[in-house]
Chain A
Amino acid sequence: MKILLVISVDPWTRSVPTVHKYVEAGRKLGHDIAVFGDPNPELPGLPFTTDLSGVDLALFALQVPTDFPDMPHLAHLLDGIPRERRLIVDLWGRYNDTILLEHDFNHLEKLDGHLGWEWEEAIEAVSDTILQPTLTPLRANVQPFLFHGFDPQSVARSYATAQEAAAVWRANRPAERPYGVMYVGSNWQRWEQVRRFLEQYGRVRGAVGKACLIGWDWWERPDWAIEKGILGIDTNPELLAELEVEVRHGVRFDEVVDLLGQARFAPIFHRPLFKHLGFVTVRSFETFYADSLPVLMLPRDFVRSIYGEAALTLVPGADVGEHLLDALERPELYWDAVLQTRSHLARHHSYEHRLQELGELLEKGVLSRERR
């Protein structure tokens, strides 16, 4: 198949790792996959094209308004690819009624100038096949398609057994693994969760090791959020200083996995909106590539449905500190959960699997259009 991915790609943010994985998986399976648009010299690993000839499928992956290409490309694309060959995956839950949770939201006019119905109409204008990265879409006309996936070849360090993994993990010297905990991701609607995590980690940080936050806006609330009165991008520099948390700016997508491998633990946080919608993100899967123990700060039902039963071991109980101490004490148990989960992800969430799903969704869309 000739597949076009319609999405804005930026080496520093959003779904760029997933886009790379689609291209790699496509090469392996004999598909021609490219990103729609002009080449980006910062992303030499991605093929770009504006050639619409022979395109079998255009997958619009929507997060922000600029994921839709600018003119004149936008018109070429919508005029050039038949509607039934266009699919749209709504990665940020725009295609829902307006949701406000804690401080999180799916529509906010003062942030991007758009009301809920504008998102809805734009999405419906693109395709009849509307997808969301969740197993449980709220709307009947939305189909589940997780978009992000797991590539077993990308695991930073493979182990034959949990014992081997635990032994390596336990033996790592500070030079090899200088951090106890590392989270890579920007401060966007996650502070409350991060704060609770850090407070509980704080009690055991001597045993666990230093914490590090990598991403934008962890050190101070950004001016634009203050100006626009947008909550949820909060922080507490005193707490971070007290816990000696190292704060670093965002990094390129291709540095994330190696960085996470410098820490014993790598928590996964989903913003409140995504938790509510059961959405996955690039980091939901990518964290399992790292040579680190993921800490799944996610609802148990969600973990079971996406990661499999074994991953429940990686979900802390009421006290994160105890969880971390227990993992230090019994790493074999936790690494066994990681290896089982990686295997589950490889079986159920590979990019080959995603491409197969896309083919089926396309066929379904074409048939349903023909029937009409």
Chain B
Amino acid sequence: MRILFVMKHRGNAGNTHAVADYMRVAKKHGHEVALFGPPQPWLPDLQFSMDVGAFDKVAYLFESELYRVSRLHEVRLLGTVPRDNRVVLDMDGMYNPLILLDGYDRNHAGEAERRQWIEHYHALSDRVVKPTIAAPDQPHVTPLPFYGYDPALQLDSAAAPEKTYDILHVGHNWWRWKEIAEKVLPALGGIRDEIGRIGFVGLWWDEPPAEGPDAGPPEAFQSDPELFRKLRIETRSAVMFDEVIRTMSTARINIFTQRPILHHLRHLTLKYFEIFYADTIPLLMLDPDHAAAVYGPAARELVLSGDTGAKILDALKRPDCYRGVVEDVRRHLSTHHSYDTRLEELIAFLQK
């Protein structure tokens, strides 16, 4: 099967990396996966195509922006690919009722915007995929975990870069500030003198996007550079998708956070899996049951659910013990979440 993904090309975002993984695995199984568009010199390892007629299925993948190709390309796609061969992948929870969590994170600015998204999805396809292991919540929604784990990408300690950080957080500052400010930073503040370098890698930790309100609601990019300075937290801009694992591997511990609304919806993201490729100890800001459902029971040991500061110190003090847990999780992921399985699931769904 030949599958064409229509999505925004973002070399520093998880979904591009996931599709790159599908490309790699697809070849092994005699399938083909490409991104719609002309080749991008800055993404030389990804396959692009505009030969719409050469594909069996088109997957429109949406994040938090109603991504559109140009009108002529839209005509070409819709006029060439029959509706039955088109699906929508709703990665950021836009295909839901209006959700507002704790007066903070939300999927839509309002009902009018939500209606526009829903109309757009319905116009494209009858079928919407959500990247989750939760049960479907609407009749034509299909849950597919979508993201997967490829043990070949695990980074050996021997091949890993030198550990220059004690703690890293790799991810963009997009609706994450509340959790960081309320849980992570107070914990780090309490143990700051006992640990070494701390880094936050990703966009918008120092300042909101230059585009201003066009990039999204200001609350989504909230940050406190002064507090970061006080806690001696370093920031670095985003890295390309193929540098994420090595970057994470420069720290003894990586803290995993998830955007609240996606956690609430039990959506998976690439980071769930990617963090276990890295030569590091992932500590997970997740609901323990959800973590166990995805990673297996051992993962409960990695969840930051009680005294976060104490857990971080414990992981730094007993790395071998935590590495054992990480190995258990890696085994679980290899067994239950391989990209071979993911590709099979996706193809089985597309063939229906």
A residues lining the B interface (CB < 8 Å)? 65-66, 68, 70-76, 78-79, 83, 113-114, 118-119, 121-122, 125-126
Contacts and interface: CB of A to CB of B under 8 A. Distances in A.
A68 B75 contact: yes
Contacts of A126: 75, 79
Interface string B49-90: 000100000000000000010111111111110110000000
A97 B336 CA distance: 53
Interface residues of B, number: 20
Contact of A76 (B77, B82, B123): B123
13 contacts: A65-B70, A71-B120, A72-B119, A72-B120, A72-B123, A76-B123, A78-B75, A78-B79, A114-B72, A122-B79, A125-B76, A125-B77, A125-B80
List the 8 shortest-distance A-B pairs measured between CB atoms, nearest first: A125-B79, A72-B123, A75-B123, A122-B72, A122-B75, A65-B71, A78-B78, A125-B76
A132 to B, nearest CB: 18
Which of the listed residues B71, B74, B78 has the most CB atoms from chain A within 10 Å of its own CB? B71
Contact of A68 (B52, B74, B80): B74
Contacts of B82: 79
Interface in B173-215: none
B123 A71 contact: yes
A90 to B, nearest CB: 13
Given A75-B83, A118-B76, A125-B80, 18 more contacts: A65-B72, A66-B71, A68-B71, A71-B120, A71-B123, A72-B122, A72-B123, A74-B71, A74-B75, A74-B78, A78-B78, A78-B79, A118-B70, A118-B73, A119-B72, A122-B75, A126-B75, A126-B79
A61 to B, nearest CB: 14
Contacts of B26: none
A139 B82 CA distance: 27
A122 B76 contact: yes
A113 B72 CA distance: 10
Nearest to A123: B75
Contacts of B78: 74-75, 78-79, 125
Nearest to B51: A121
B76 A74 contact: no
State the main secondary structure of chain B at its contact with A: helix
B88 to A, nearest CB: 11
Contacts of B74: 68, 71, 74
Contacts of B77: 125
Contact of B76 (A70, A71, A113, A121): A121
Nearest to B68: A71
A73 B75 CA distance: 11
B7 interface: no
A126 B71 CA distance: 13
Contacts of B123: 71-76
B329 interface: no
A72 B83 CA distance: 13
B124 interface: yes
A113 B38 CA distance: 14
A116 to B, nearest CB: 11
A257 B70 CA distance: 36
Contacts of A71: 68, 74, 120, 123
Contacts of A122: 72-73, 75-76, 79
Contacts of A78: 75, 78-79
Contacts of B122: 72
Contacts of A65: 70-72
B124 A75 contact: yes
Nearest to B86: A75
Interface in B271-292: none
Given A71-B120, A72-B119, A79 B83 contact: yes
A58 B122 CA distance: 22
Nearest to B121: A72
Which of the listed residues A66, A75, A119 has the most CB atoms from chain B within 10 Å of its own CB? A75
